């Protein structure tokens, strides 16, 4: 790989991204942060996508060993992927490939285009995400990425109603939470103050709401339910607080009717949301507008097509693209990053698409019904995404655990989702040590506290064929 060619393709790619970035510093109108992009015709959007794809393929080939190997193995040259119509030539990239790449090329892997030299020269931060083996995939981002992140998130936040004069209370832990970091920087860029609420008890968070009167409460749906219940226990009505908008990410909420209604009734506020993933950052992914419902009555979520190409594919038919209006899993080609652009990355959430113009005036594709359900049994629980194999790895690591076990996903009386793992063990009469061992083994892999029941040996029927160990009883 020639350093000169790598740098030349990087410059060409960044030039085309910059050429199509509009209204960076401030909103272009009262309705749209970037009016000419957000109301562009379908032909204009496709022309922008094609211009970026023409430069993206050689950029990936020259700056990522992962993509170079993939091109060569497929017998493709960068010039073979120049337009959206060419994308089906490229087999979608899944998380397992990235995990294997990282294990073979520690500690960063080769799937991003962020070199060590670039990291030392203008690195911004890293975000990890769990993989199917529990190995975190690391994504390095540059200061250039941060600028694009501010811009994309400002556009999305403007769409869902954030304006100067608002105050946001951002109630998340500022660890690897990619959603929170993007929102925090975008709010500062927009001139909207943000109160951080990580590392506090629910009571302290409620006191902040009562004392400082934020208008936007941003956190996970499960945390919104928890804060509402604690607020009531403290003798206050959440619906009579200053909160006017509930801004969620990490878990489905707006697209789940019962959850949305419960939250809006509890807080007397509108639910809006972001949807996305670490791999396809820097971007908000999907986002709400003031027209919450599609004409069909379903919730709708916008996507930005000038900076990403979104497809729906059929996981049961060799990932063939499904026609508009049919259900498939999300696949994203990201064209908004110096460090983490990707060709056809499988995000993996089920939805349907509509490319007709929204009543809000935006012309970009919308996900109808939001994003619910995962391909390949991927579990999403309180903002964390992981495969059942990660749970199995933790359970199997504890000495004396029986062959059979059960994972139950359910919703408690307060509307908060949780995981219960039922295992068999000889020490079921005095299970404290076993319970602690299973909790530690699983939580260390998925960073989530789990409940554990220790049952007598031979409680479960023996598995004769494919084991179905996950029983999802959560309200939908």
Q: What is the DSSP string of 313-380?
A: EETTTTTEEPPTTS-EEEEEEE-S-SS--EEEEEEEEEEEEE-SPPTTS--S-EEET----BGGG-EE
* Res. 133 pLDDT band, cuts 50 70 90: very low
Q: What DSSP assignment string belongs to 269-306? A: SEEEEEE--STT-SS-BEE--S--B-TTSSBEEE--TT
Which residue, chain included where needed, has tokens 């970009």?
A: 364
Note whether residue 451 is domain-resident: yes
Note whether residue 382 is domain-resident: no
Note whether residue 381 is domain-resident: no
Torsions phi, psi of 321, nearest 5? -70, 130
Q: Domain check: are 395 and 290 in the same one?
A: no
Q: Domain check: are 6 and 74 in the same one?
A: yes
Q: What is the pLDDT of residues 428-474, one digit of tens each?
A: 888 999 999 999 999 988 878 899 999 999 898 754 334 578 888 88
Note whether residue 13 is domain-resident: yes
Q: Domain check: are 339 and 232 in the same one?
A: yes
Note whether residue 403 is domain-resident: yes
Note whether residue 315 is domain-resident: yes
Q: Domain check: are 12 and 129 in the same one?
A: yes
Per-residue pLDDT at 295: 85
Q: What is the pLDDT of residues 60-117, one digit of tens each?
A: 999 999 999 999 999 999 999 999 999 999 999 998 899 999 999 999 999 999 888 8
Note whether residue 380 is domain-resident: no
Q: Of 337, 352, 375, which marks where a domain is finished?
A: 375
Indicate whether 15 pLDDT > 50: yes
Q: Domain check: are 253 and 125 in the same one?
A: yes
Q: What is the pLDDT of residues 61-72, one digit of tens each?
A: 999 999 999 999
Q: Domain check: are 248 and 367 in the same one?
A: yes
pTM for the structure as a whole: 0.80
- Rounded Cα distance between 373 and 1, Å, is 41
Q: Domain check: are 10 and 79 in the same one?
A: yes
Q: Domain check: are 317 and 361 in the same one?
A: yes
Note whether residue 17 is domain-resident: yes
Q: Domain check: are 171 and 272 in the same one?
A: yes
Domain that holds residue 310: 1-375
Q: Domain check: are 352 and 450 in the same one?
A: no
Q: What is the pLDDT of residues 241-274, one digit of tens each?
A: 999 999 988 766 676 675 788 789 999 999 999 8
Q: Of 375, 398, 432, which marks where a domain is finished?
A: 375
Per-residue pLDDT at 399: 87
Q: What is the pLDDT of residues 187-215, one digit of tens each?
A: 999 999 999 998 888 999 999 999 999 99
Q: What DSSP assignment string belongs to 83-102? A: SGGGGGGSPPB-HHHHHHHH
Q: Of 355, 375, 395, which marks where a domain is finished?
A: 375
Q: Domain check: are 248 and 149 in the same one?
A: yes
What CATH number should be reported for the domain holding residue 94?
3.40.50.12780
Q: Tell me the two tokens of residue 414.
A: 């307060």
The count of domains in the chain is 2
What CATH number should be reported for the domain holding residue 404?
3.30.300.30
- Rounded Cα distance between 83 and 374, Å, is 28
Instruction: Say how many CA atoms lie within 13 Å of 376 toward its Cβ.
Output: 19
Q: Domain check: are 161 and 282 in the same one?
A: yes
């Amino acid at each position: 790989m020639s350093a000169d060619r790598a740098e030349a393709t990087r410059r060409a790619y960044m030039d085309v991204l910059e050429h199509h970035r509009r209204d960076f510093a401030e909103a272009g109108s009262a309705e749209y942060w970037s009016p000419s992009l957000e109301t562009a015709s379908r032909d204009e959007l496709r022309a922008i996508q094609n211009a970026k794809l023409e430069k993206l393929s050689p950029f990936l080939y020259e700056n990522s060993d992962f993509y170079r190997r993939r091109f060569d193995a497929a017998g493709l040259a960068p010039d073979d992927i120049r337009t959206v119509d060419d994308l089906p030539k490229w087999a979608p990239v899944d998380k397992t490939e990235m995990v294997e790449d990282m294990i073979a090329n520690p500690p960063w892997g080769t799937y991003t285009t962020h070199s060590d030299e670039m990291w030392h020269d203008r690195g911004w931060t890293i975000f990890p995400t769990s993989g199917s083996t529990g190995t975190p995939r690391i994504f390095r981002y540059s200061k250039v990425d941060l600028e694009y992140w501010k811009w994309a998130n400002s556009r999305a936040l403007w769409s869902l109603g954030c304006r100067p004069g608002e105050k946001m209370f951002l109630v998340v832990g500022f660890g690897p939470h990619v959603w929170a970091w993007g929102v925090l920087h975008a709010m500062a860029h927009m001139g909207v103050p943000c109160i951080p609420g990580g590392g506090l008890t629910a009571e302290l968070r409620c006191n902040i709401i009562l004392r400082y009167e934020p208008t936007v409460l941003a956190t996970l749906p499960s945390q919104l339910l928890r804060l509402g219940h604690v607020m009531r226990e403290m003798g206050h009505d959440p619906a009579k607080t200053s909160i006017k908008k509930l801004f969620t990410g990490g878990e489905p909420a707006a697209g789940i009717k019962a959850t949305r209604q419960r939250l809006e009734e509890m807080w007397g506020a509108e639910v809006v949301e972001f949807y996305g993933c670490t791999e396809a950052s820097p971007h908000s992914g999907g986002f709400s507008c003031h027209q919450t419902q599609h004409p069909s009555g379903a919730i709708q979520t916008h996507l930005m097509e000038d900076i990403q190409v979104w497809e729906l594919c059929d996981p049961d038919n060799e990932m063939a693209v499904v026609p508009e209006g049919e259900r498939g899993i999300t696949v994203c080609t990201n064209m908004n990053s110096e460090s983490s652009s990707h060709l056809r990355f499988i995000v993996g959430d089920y939805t349907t698409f509509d490319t007709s113009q929204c009543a809000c005036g935006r012309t970009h594709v919308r996900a109808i019904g939001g994003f619910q359900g995962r391909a390949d049994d991927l579990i999403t629980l309180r903002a964390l995404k992981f495969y059942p194999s990660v749970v199995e790895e933790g359970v199997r690591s504890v000495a004396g655990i029986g062959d059979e076990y059960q994972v139950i996903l359910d919703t408690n009386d307060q509307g908060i989702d949780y995981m219960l793992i039922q295992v068999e063990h000889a020490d079921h009469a005095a299970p404290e040590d076993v319970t602690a061992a299973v909790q530690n083994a699983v939580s260390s892999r998925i960073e989530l506290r789990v409940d554990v029941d220790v049952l007598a040996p031979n409680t479960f029927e023996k598995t004769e064929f494919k084991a179905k160990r996950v029983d999802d009883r959560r309200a939908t």
